[in-house]
Structure 1
């Protein structure tokens, strides 16, 4: 608690509270935004996919530039681009303008990732994994609270824009704090990398294992994105829930995500290995999505929303990155970039496919089931490769340096 960077880290966590809201603010306001932007639900899906396009375009480059120019610059840049999105979305009345704003949101998110994850690892070198997983917790808190706020706005017939203004207000105050009073560690020297040479040389095959992790990153990111974006509309149109109950599915989903974050940390400290989490969570994700698709009734949808959030959005991507680091102990940056790029491609392409299927939301859920099945297959093959390389599976893993958020 005496760490001098605690205030700065809190500011970075607050950024990810807003990032969590930004992930679902478009789908939560899908109908009214379709009218404002003079388009259809499919058009809004294209706008949502543009967020992934923005991330895909800059995710690799922003990480490299963050090493060169510092973390603070990219954190402030990312927060500023989020400000542009939340402010611009309220005054935009064209689909083209909305796509541009969504692309800037994606660029802003990638910039925040490039600055925040390395900064947290430098601020808390003895607790890197916990520091990064806590970002996931704040993201989930944002995803949990926003549907409740929007439900209140809808119930009282208030202007939808108050949800955007809330995010805008939090960001303005937080960005001013980070700009004026934040403190960051002095940039480490390249000599620190000499320590890598002391690590055990246990290497995977870059083409085989790299491809498996890329497929896993694509599938895992696509699963939780589709669920977080389309769960509310699926609840309304297929399950037959009213507006408030359908929005509550996202809150159930976020509670599941938060529960998984804390349970995973607790179990990891008691000896449960990352590779065990990986296969269990991916199977749970596939099973819960399949049940939701086959039995779209209110009680099951509520329970499955919690389990989907637990298994698909509770840190499984971070777990995958941690395992990947054990496959390539001397090339963490390279292989992390591969998975991060795959996740960004998923953010862009999966939403485009979902938009084309949006006429029947059952097909969107079936797409999510298919992605989850791909994730199970990839996780199974990764587990087989893990056992082949490490035998009993007692290899020491390290905390991931980047995430999909």
Structure 2
């Protein structure tokens, strides 16, 4: 039967297409924004870090308020706050003002998440995981489209701000479209909670033993930081790396993010299919983290245009195609009694990465963009070692 909430879901997904653009829009316009604010790449990176702060500020509170006041108000609040970010950045005369609006973008992301994820799970109670995974696909689509838009604007000598105006226009049109669309009441939530309780009881029936938060919990917190840091660093600096280290032209270097997004998009669908049929999330955790480390190492050792293009796709596939979500899935399996708390802890670690990584790499950019990629190689190596520890501990916990 046709789901009456499908038009609502389409609108919610469109919001994340724009969010995918928003994640990259400061980095893709780094030169123009630096000139507007009278700063260099490091200064723009400081503003990028503000998005992580904004997300941290309301990460826990927005979810609780969404449970109390409903999903639709928080979806709209997220859209309006995001529009304020796009408009504010265009008219910001300095880093200080831009930093404030960057914080708004992080807050907007948390607002949208707190309204969208529950709404999708309540709209599709029989397949909530798939409904949420599709969000990642739309984010990747937005990250694919933005570099092409910015590249076209630069090649035609057009104003850089049109990329912001396009994002604003999509949000406005989508807000009008969504206005009279139905949202599920939270009866679906009770169904989900019953299923979740049954799942917890099933998992608890397994020999869950030797689980120590000081060991496994700490590893997962660090992995939450590392997994976010690995792909966030690449998404912000790959274009600069292509132009300044690999000697690629402006359009070609911007296209690297599009290759990266294609890899991410492809991984979403492949992984979701294989996890259901053949493999466990823990296996992908180790494999994808290893591939990320190797591909980043090759990208740093051999910075040629061809290696950058292939590397961008592979890194997008392995590091940005859902490995962070897989990490959360495994953590929830090992700590089944507190999934809400686990989710908050895991994504808080990721938000800290979104704040600290731009600050660190911004300073590194003053000496060498190549060193930024080497730094990411080190981060990915730590992530691989953490994944091995988690894999070993997982097998011990669930051994017969």
Structure 2 length normalisation: TM-score? 0.95
Query: What's the counterpart of residue 328 of structure 2?
Result: 321
Query: What's the counterpart of residue 119 of structure 1?
Result: 119
Query: What's the counterpart of residue 269 of structure 1?
Result: 276
User: How many pairs align?
Assistant: 392
2:346 is aligned with 1:339? yes
Is contact 2:265-2:317 (8 Å) kept?
yes
Is contact 1:143-1:250 (8 Å) kept?
yes
The ranges of structure 1 where at least 4 consecutive aligned residues each deviate by more than 4 angstroms after the TM superposition are 189-197
2:167 is aligned with 1:162? no
Is contact 2:75-2:116 (8 Å) kept?
yes
2:376 is aligned with 1:373? no
After superposition, residues 217-366 of structure 1 pair within 5 angstroms as: 217-359=224-366, 360-366=368-374
Query: What's the counterpart of residue 180 of structure 2?
Result: 180
After superposition, residues 41-190 of structure 1 pair within 5 angstroms as: 41-187=41-187, 188-189=189-190
Q: Distance in 2 between matches of 1:178 and 1:172?
A: 10
Q: CA deviation at 1:69?
A: 2.0
Residue in structure 1 matching 2:397, options 354, 369, 389: 389
Q: CA deviation at 1:270?
A: 2.3
Is contact 2:51-2:103 (8 Å) kept?
yes
2:27 is aligned with 1:27? yes
Query: What's the counterpart of residue 3 of structure 2?
Result: 3
Residue in structure 1 matching 2:201, options 198, 201, 205: 198
Deviates more, 1:234-243 or 1:204-213: 204-213
Provide Cα deviations, 1:348-393, integer angstroms capped at 9, x if missing partner. 011110111012101111111111111111111111111011127x
Provide Cα deviations, 1:288-321, integer angstroms capped at 9, x if missing partner. 0111111111111111010000000000011111
In the superposition, relative to structure 1, how do residues 189 and 261 fare at CA in structure 2: closer, same or farther (>3 Å)? Answer: closer
Is contact 1:196-1:330 (8 Å) kept?
no
Is contact 2:19-2:139 (8 Å) kept?
yes
Deviates more, 1:172-181 or 1:248-257: 172-181
Superposition RMSD on alpha carbons, in Å? Answer: 1.6
Q: CA deviation at 1:325?
A: 1.4
Q: Distance in 2 between matches of 1:84 and 1:181?
A: 23
Q: Distance in 2 between matches of 1:153 and 1:104?
A: 26
Gap regions ≥5 residues in structure 1: 393-405
Q: CA deviation at 1:107?
A: 0.5
Q: CA deviation at 1:226?
A: 0.5
Q: Distance in 1 between matches of 2:305 and 2:126?
A: 45
Gap regions ≥5 residues in structure 2: none
Q: Distance in 2 between matches of 1:357 and 1:198?
A: 48
Provide Cα deviations, 1:145-182, integer angstroms capped at 9, x if missing partner. 11111111111111111110000000011122223324
Is contact 1:222-1:371 (8 Å) kept?
yes
Deviates more, 1:263-272 or 1:180-189: 180-189
Query: What's the counterpart of residue 395 of structure 1?
Result: none
Provide Cα deviations, 1:86-106, integer angstroms capped at 9, x if missing partner. 111111111111000000000
Structure 1 length normalisation: TM-score? 0.93
In the superposition, relative to structure 1, how do residues 51 and 197 fare at CA in structure 2: closer, same or farther (>3 Å)? Answer: closer
Provide Cα deviations, 1:302-351, integer angstroms capped at 9, x if missing partner. 11010000000000011111111111112100111110100000000111
Is contact 1:76-1:178 (8 Å) kept?
no
Q: CA deviation at 1:198?
A: 3.4
